């Protein structure tokens, strides 16, 4: 019998590593043969979704045999009303991660230059590599992404896209709205700012620029995964100029959001009381993480997110030992992967029980790391 020829990948696919931006906690649990006692690494909301969102999702499960509305009409209308803009300025999709992939697919051809920060959110880089873009990185300025350096690099290389997270992941820092506006005014012609605002619901008001849906220089991305507690539903959206938003229909997965996810997001958006409660709990947990860090001689960095980056006071090797020792005690945390940011570990906000577990585990982890 003649065997068929093996599938031949594209040259681009062949050049890429078989990797993912993050190793999930589930994979780590399988590898270690035990569950985590405190899940404090993925920046999810340990406080859960809105009760109204859970009720809405439960009610619609009987309709899960049907595809979801491919136009996401109810969700886009609710978002438009919430933000006081037109629904033509909103596209929804499978979390910010999915929308980043569509955006890069729309704008980046093989060899096109794209600019980001060294150590910034790696999923963006994953999509740029996957579509053959040429990624250019600039270092952070202290604990902040360097907006001036990003713009300067974009002008130098003729970048199609600049990626900026504000508030920032992995450091939790933020720029005020005036800084972002100045960055927009300095953009080279033909460069689009991809402004990742995943943590906008948890940020101080001065960190979030006013929406201007006529501004063709920027697209802004938001999510229901953080403050709204729907990370498992994968619902995100982008706000931008209508022409750019309309272009997403050329490439997006029109059935990417199922009925349950859409219903949950609409109900979550309407439950402003729950959002306020989560915001208060996140602030309380940030304070708890900061206090635990200080009690152990570490430096918690200011945060406008649902996590705190904690400076371990030494180099990345020491911070990795601290991380490993926490994981060995069933505390799931993560850390930045690039020096000098990797002197920190990143701890997501959690429940009182999570904080108690961290309070017990951190001194032992530091002792083991120092002893190594």
pLDDT score recorded for residue 141: 98
pLDDT score recorded for residue 1: 54
261 and 194 belong to one structural domain: yes
Whether residue 17 lies inside any domain: the answer is no
Q: What is the pLDDT of residues 72-111, one digit of tens each?
A: 999 999 999 999 999 999 999 999 999 999 999 999 999 9
Cα-based torsion angle of the residue sequence 39, 171, 279, 43 in order, rounded to the nearest 10 degrees = -30
Kindly tell me the burial class for residue 311, based on how many C-beta atoms sit within 10 Å of its own C-beta (0-12, 13-18, 19 or more): middle
Residues 6+ apart with CB under 8 A from 130: 12, 16, 101, 104
pLDDT score recorded for residue 5: 62
Q: What is the pLDDT of residues 302-350, one digit of tens each?
A: 999 999 999 999 999 999 999 999 999 999 999 999 999 999 999 999 9
pTM here is 0.95
30 and 145 belong to one structural domain: no
Query: 242, 270, 298: which is the final residue of a domain?
Result: 270
Q: Are 195 and 221 in contact (CB under 8 A)?
A: yes
* Separation between Cα atoms, residue 50 and residue 262, nearest integer Å: 14
158 and 249 belong to one structural domain: yes
36 and 73 belong to one structural domain: no
- The residue written with tokens 């460069």 in the block is 191
Whether residue 199 lies inside any domain: the answer is yes
96 and 186 belong to one structural domain: yes
Tell me 1's DSSP state: -
Residue 27, beta-bridge partner list:
none
199 and 346 belong to one structural domain: no
Neighbour tally for 190: CB within 10 Å: 10
Whether residue 63 lies inside any domain: the answer is yes
Residue-by-residue pLDDT tens, the chain, 372 positions: 556 667 889 999 999 988 777 888 999 999 999 999 999 999 999 999 999 999 999 999 999 999 999 999 999 999 999 999 999 999 999 999 999 999 999 999 999 999 999 999 999 999 999 999 999 999 999 999 999 999 999 999 999 999 999 999 999 999 999 999 999 999 999 999 999 999 999 999 999 999 999 999 999 999 999 999 999 999 999 999 999 999 999 999 999 999 999 999 999 999 999 999 999 999 999 999 999 999 999 999 999 999 999 999 999 999 999 999 999 999 999 999 999 999 999 999 999 999 999 999 999 999 999 997
Whether residue 291 lies inside any domain: the answer is yes
Whether residue 14 lies inside any domain: the answer is no
Whether residue 8 lies inside any domain: the answer is no
284 and 173 belong to one structural domain: no
254 and 282 belong to one structural domain: no
Instruction: Give the residue among 123, 78, 83 at the shortest CA–CA distance from 100.
Output: 123
249 and 340 belong to one structural domain: no
42 and 68 belong to one structural domain: no
Concatenate the DSSP letters of all residues of 189-246 into one string.
TT-EEEEE-TTGGGS-GGGSPPP-TT-TTEEEEEESSSTT--GGG--EEEE--HHHHH
Any idea what the CATH number is for the domain that residue 245 is in? 3.40.640.10
Query: 222, 237, 270: which is the final residue of a domain?
Result: 270
Whether residue 177 lies inside any domain: the answer is yes
Whether residue 9 lies inside any domain: the answer is no
Full residue range of the structural domain in which residue 59 is found:
51-270
186 and 103 belong to one structural domain: yes
* Separation between Cα atoms, residue 176 and residue 228, nearest integer Å: 23
Any idea what the CATH number is for the domain that residue 300 is in? 3.90.1150.10
Domain count, the chain: 2
Concatenate the DSSP letters of all residues of 303-330 into one string.
-SSSEEEEE-SS-HHHHHHHHHHHHHTT
Neighbour tally for 171: CB within 10 Å: 27
Query: 245, 270, 295: which is the final residue of a domain?
Result: 270
Tell me 253's DSSP state: -
128 and 277 belong to one structural domain: no
């Amino acid at each position: 019998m003649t065997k068929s020829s093996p599938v031949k990948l594209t040259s681009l696919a062949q050049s890429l590593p078989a990797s993912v931006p993050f190793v999930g906690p589930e994979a780590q649990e399988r590898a270690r043969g035990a569950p985590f006692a405190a899940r404090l690494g993925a920046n999810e909301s340990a406080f859960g979704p809105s009760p109204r969102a859970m009720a809405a999702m439960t009610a619609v499960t009987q309709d899960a045999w049907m595809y979801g509305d491919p136009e996401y009409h109810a969700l886009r209308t609710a978002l438009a009303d919430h933000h006081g803009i037109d629904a033509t300025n909103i596209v929804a999709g499978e979390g910010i991660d999915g929308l980043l992939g569509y955006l890069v697919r729309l704008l980046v051809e093989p060899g096109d230059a794209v600019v980001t920060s060294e150590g910034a959110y790696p999923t963006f880089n994953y999509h740029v590599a996957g579509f053959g873009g040429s990624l250019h990185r600039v270092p952070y300025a202290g604990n902040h992404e360097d907006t001036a350096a990003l713009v300067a690099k974009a002008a130098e290389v003729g970048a199609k896209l600049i990626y900026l997270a504000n508030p920032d992941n992995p450091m939790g820092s933020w720029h005020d709205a005036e800084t972002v506006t100045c960055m927009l005014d300095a953009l080279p012609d033909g460069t689009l700012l991809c402004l990742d605002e995943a943590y906008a619901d948890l940020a101080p008001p001065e960190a979030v620029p006013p929406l201007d849906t006529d501004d063709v220089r920027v697209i802004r991305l938001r999510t229901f995964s953080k403050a709204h507690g729907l990370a498992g539903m994968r619902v995100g959206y982008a706000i931008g100029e209508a022409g750019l938003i309309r272009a997403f229909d050329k490439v997006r997965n029109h059935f990417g959001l199922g009925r349950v996810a859409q219903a949950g997001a609409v109900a979550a958006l309407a439950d402003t009381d729950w959002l306020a409660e989560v915001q208060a709990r996140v602030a309380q947990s940030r304070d708890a993480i900061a206090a635990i860090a200080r009690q152990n001689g570490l430096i918690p960095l200011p945060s406008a997110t649902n996590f705190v980056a904690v400076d371990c006071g030494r180099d990345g090797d020491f911070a990795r030992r601290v991380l490993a020792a926490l994981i060995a005690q069933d505390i799931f945390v993560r850390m930045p992967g690039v020096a000098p940011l990797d002197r920190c570990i990143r701890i997501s906000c959690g429940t009182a029980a999570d904080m108690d577990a961290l309070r017990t585990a951190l001194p032992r982890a530091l002792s083991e790391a120092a002893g190594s």
